Amino acid sequence: MDRYEAHPAQNTGEERVYADRELRDRRAESRHVERGAFDLPFFLLTLLILLIGVVMVLSASFARAYYKDGNAMGIFVRQLGFAGLGIALMLVLSRLPSTFYRRMSLPLLVVTGFMLALVPFLGTGKEEVGANRWFNLGFTTFQPSEIAKIAIILFFANLICVYRNKMKTFRYGVAPFAGILAVTVLLLLLEPHLSASVIIIAIGAIMMFAGGTRLWVFGLGIAVVGVAGFVVVNFFPYASSRITVWQDPWSDPLNKGLQTIQSLYAIGSGGLTGLGLGQGRQKYMYLPEEHNDFIFSIVCEELGFIGAMLILALFAVLIIRGYWLALHARDRFGSLVIIGITSLLAIQVFLNVAVVTNLVPCTGISLPFFSYGGTALLIQLGEMGIVLSISREIPLRKKKSEDEDKK
């Protein structure tokens, strides 16, 4: 007999709530979980956004692809191939139970940490972006920081479940999470990769908040981040120059401000309805990274304000659907994982759009499902597969009652 069942009178208030939840989660894990079909709206929204993204890669990349390799379809064909592989990976991962992801959370975090430790020394990218962030696999490049994001989400979700009734203490609810984040961010700064560090800190904070960490911790964290940001901006020329260019891109229009200026030209020239798909001008070697980090500028130029808003609306619906699935997940682990993945998607979409519109300083943050990048696309679709896997375990009685309400 479980100790909570044997002495129920000893547990009162909040402790009793945690005890009941712990008992329920252990019982659920100990028996076979009935799995149904994955969430069809989430799946179809993902495919629709991916389809639009692949089409925009074709439109944004053909000029640069022809200039570099003499093959205007080269970048598009590679992205299309990775999209196909990503869909297959998403479907495979959607078949695996959530208990598999829970068991693999620690090994994945360890392997990711090892790769992050190696990439500053063995990685590539110094010539292009001034930082070693990728492993060259021959047929493509691989960025360990993308794996680090999902590794943090899975491990934090597992750790919160382990410490579920101790998350309000500093020893269990703050120290281990802060330590993991500190080590991960330190490894990322060795590359350096500031944008990934910001995203991982934000995701870690969201996971801790959802897990029940006390609010004063976040106030302290904001203060620490503020002090660190002040030091970086004032004592590191690389960061301070970015702030200067962000405030006035025309202070260096032919070098550091060029990308932002051309992005704003593209957005402004699109107007309300756009120049038409494939009719943009900035992709003809004027705008750097037009098919990658700044592809949303091409979206605005060719599809206009209306088209850009419709795409952002699709992202918003996908994000809302993700949080809905988190609210209805079978257990705490599944709910936390979906919260983490959905929040990661929301943060990346917001920051990418903020960068191309010069709302925030320029950073290397891609637009999910749109920006060119094979391994990044595979990982993003894999994350959607994990969400679909957890959606299979939503109690069938909830799904049946909702179907009856619709009828």
Straight-line distance from the first to the last Cα atom of the chain, in angstroms, rounded to the nearest whole number: 43
The band of 143, judged by pLDDT with boundaries at 50, 70 and 90, is confident
**Which of the four pLDDT bands, split at 50, 70 and 90, describes residue 23?**
low
The secondary structure of the chain in percent helix, strand, coil, rounded to multiples of 5, reads 75, 0, 25
The alpha carbon of residue 182 and the mean position of all alpha carbons in its chain are separated, in whole angstroms, by 19
Segment 194-214 mean pLDDT? 92
Bridge partners, 142 (sequence order): 135
Angle 144-162/332-356 helices, nearest 10 degrees? 140
What is the pLDDT, as a whole number, of residue 364?
Answer: 78
Mean pLDDT confidence for 56-71: 93
Structure tokens, 347: 């943060």
Which pLDDT score, from 0 to 100, does residue 275 have?
Answer: 96
DSSP conformation letters of 205-274: HHHHHHHT--HHHHHHHHHHHHHHHHHHHHH-HHHHHHHHHHH-GGGSTTTTTHHHHHHHHHHHHHTTT-
Stretch 354-359: mean pLDDT, rounded?
Answer: 94
Q: For residues 183 and 241, what is the distance between their CA atoms, to the nearest angstrom? A: 26
Type of residue found at 225: V
Q: What does the alpha-carbon distance between residue 110 and residue 310 come to, in Å, rounded to a whole number?
A: 40
* Chain segment 247-296, per-residue pLDDT in tens: 889 888 888 889 999 999 999 999 999 999 999 999 999 999 999 999 99
Residue among 2, 166, 167 at smallest CA distance from 10: 2
Closest CA to 315 of 351, 353, 349: 349
Count of C-beta atoms within a 10 Å radius of residue 300: 28
The C-alpha atoms of residue 170 and residue 189 are separated, in whole angstroms, by 26
Question: Of the spans 140-144, 211-215, 230-234, which averages the highest pLDDT?
Answer: 211-215
Token pair for 3: 């100790």
Q: Is the dihedral of CA 305, 307, 309, 312 positive or negative?
A: negative
**Is the entire prediction scored with pTM above 0.85?**
yes
Backbone angles phi, psi at 163, to 5 degrees: -100, 30
Q: What is the pLDDT of residues 108-142, one digit of tens each?
A: 999 999 999 998 888 776 556 667 788 877 767 78
Residue 109 tokens read as 């975090």
Put residue 44 in one of left, alpha, beta given phi > 0 → left and psi -120 to 50 → alpha: alpha
Amino acid letter for position 288:
P
Domain boundaries, the chain: 37-406
- Residue with structure tokens 């080590």? 183
Compute the average pLDDT of residues 162-175: 92
Rounded CA separation 73/77 (Å): 6
